[in-house]
Amino acid sequence: MNEADSQRVASALERLGYEPTPAPEAADVIVLNTCVVRQSAENKAYGRLSSLQPIKDRRPGVVINLMGCLVGIKNTDRLKSRFPLVDIFSPPSDPRPLIDYLTQTETRVLEEAGTERRFALMDGDLVLPAAERGQAVSAFIPVVYGCSHACTFCIIPFRRGVERSRPAQDVLSEARALVAQGVKEITLLGQIVDRYGKDIPEGPDLAGLLRQLAGIDGLERIRFLTSHPNWMTDELLDVVASEPKVCPHIEVPVQAGHDEVLANMKRGYTAEDYRRLVEKIRQRIPGVSIATDVIVGFPGETADQFQATYDLLAELKLDVAHLARYSSRPDTVATRRMVDDVPAAEKMRRFRELESLQEGIVTEIHARHLNRQVEVLFEEKVKGRWKGRTPTNKLVFVSSDENLRGQIRQVTITRTGPWSMQADLA
């Protein structure tokens, strides 16, 4: 979500006449887009912010914009006194405060100089910054902002606000613009992406939106994330199964494998519900890959409860497990009403256990691809090799002198490992 937001800010700044620079010391405007989903991410944001102080001291005219979840939807006043070096605070996914500030300042300067106003943000669909146009093969489109679910560990509803779907027309026109800029693959984003359209009575749901997007010429692949087990409809799964452009890859977090922990997290399903969902996804979408998220060390999680999570992952053998150690987040129910009682070392031990379990599972899944042909969309050259992904989102590297950027090619897998595969063009 932040990556998509940053691209839109960069593109808007370019329309105002700014150009990117790799060096913050040389910038007239610095945008720091922040994440606070875990304490470590928040600490990183503070570290970056203090690294900007010497620049602001040397050049007080530099405009510093703090954006994203550190700002949130209602934190601005508190932050103003805490970070006086920041000129503009922007909530997540909203570049307007910065753009308004720059246009107003620039207009004033021009008027004072007796020049007619010529500085305005044009309407249009230039989503990608100039450097990425014709280069980016894959792009994100946020379709649902915020979340109204309120899992007890999660700060996102407090910082990104209630759930709001974007009108389908906006999504479609952004997708067309991205395709015109060379993009071949689009990933639709939402905290619970399957809830797309629930707040727009006349609009399509996610399944309908995917069908409409699939009609765009030149768009080769469509993905969506993140799903919630309670909101995946059969119709959605059927669109994934039947629409060739929609990739057979589902990101659906389980978070824990023990019912008491799931209830404490207020996830709204049981481990058995999740097990049945995985079974259904696999039945309806042959060859599907499934990714999950897991939090270890949630308040009160006992060794036995953790073992239930371990056993569930060992049983389901999912393609990807994004693992996180629980960290207390302000405002959440878990922070206000529960005790963060699993010691840090024990959280790390549980994390490592799952990590090594998952490494074994993925090594086994990837090994099944050896000598098989798969289809890969190539994105970029990294250290002399072309990097691409299969429809199931598996990372594949190929050595080739051809320019493969943006091409979909058949490849034969020659080597596999836990994190990626190597292949030759078929």
Under the rule (CB under 6 A), what is the footprint of ligand SF4?
147, 149-151, 154, 156-157, 191-192, 228
Closest C-alpha to 351, from 301, 395, 400, 390: 301
Least separation in angstroms between CB 269 and ligand SF4? 12
Nearer to ligand SF4, 248 or 253 (CB): 253
With 0-12 CB in 10 A as exposed, 13-18 as middle and 19+ as buried, what is 58?
exposed
Least separation in angstroms between CB 156 and ligand SF4? 4
Q: Report the distance separating Cα 160 and Cα 75, nearest Å.
A: 11
Nearer to ligand SF4, 62 or 225 (CB): 225
Strand partners, 387: 380, 397
Q: Report the distance separating Cα 274 and Cα 267, nearest Å.
A: 11
Nearer to ligand SF4, 151 or 168 (CB): 151
Least separation in angstroms between CB 192 and ligand SF4? 5
With 0-12 CB in 10 A as exposed, 13-18 as middle and 19+ as buried, what is 212?
middle
Tokens (6 digits) for 137: 């093969």
Closest C-alpha to 94, from 116, 64, 73: 73
Residue 312's H or E segment, with its range, is: helix 303-316
Least separation in angstroms between CB 55 and ligand SF4? 34
Least separation in angstroms between CB 47 and ligand SF4? 24
Nearer to ligand SF4, 138 or 332 (CB): 332
Nearer to ligand SF4, 3 or 238 (CB): 3
Least separation in angstroms between CB 329 and ligand SF4? 10
Nearer to ligand SF4, 11 or 264 (CB): 264
- Between strands 289-296 and 320-325, the pairing is parallel
State whether residue 355 is helix, strand or coil.
helix
With 0-12 CB in 10 A as exposed, 13-18 as middle and 19+ as buried, what is 84?
exposed
Largest CA distance in the chain: 74
Entry field: residues in the chain: 426
Nearer to ligand SF4, 271 or 404 (CB): 271
Least separation in angstroms between CB 155 and ligand SF4? 8
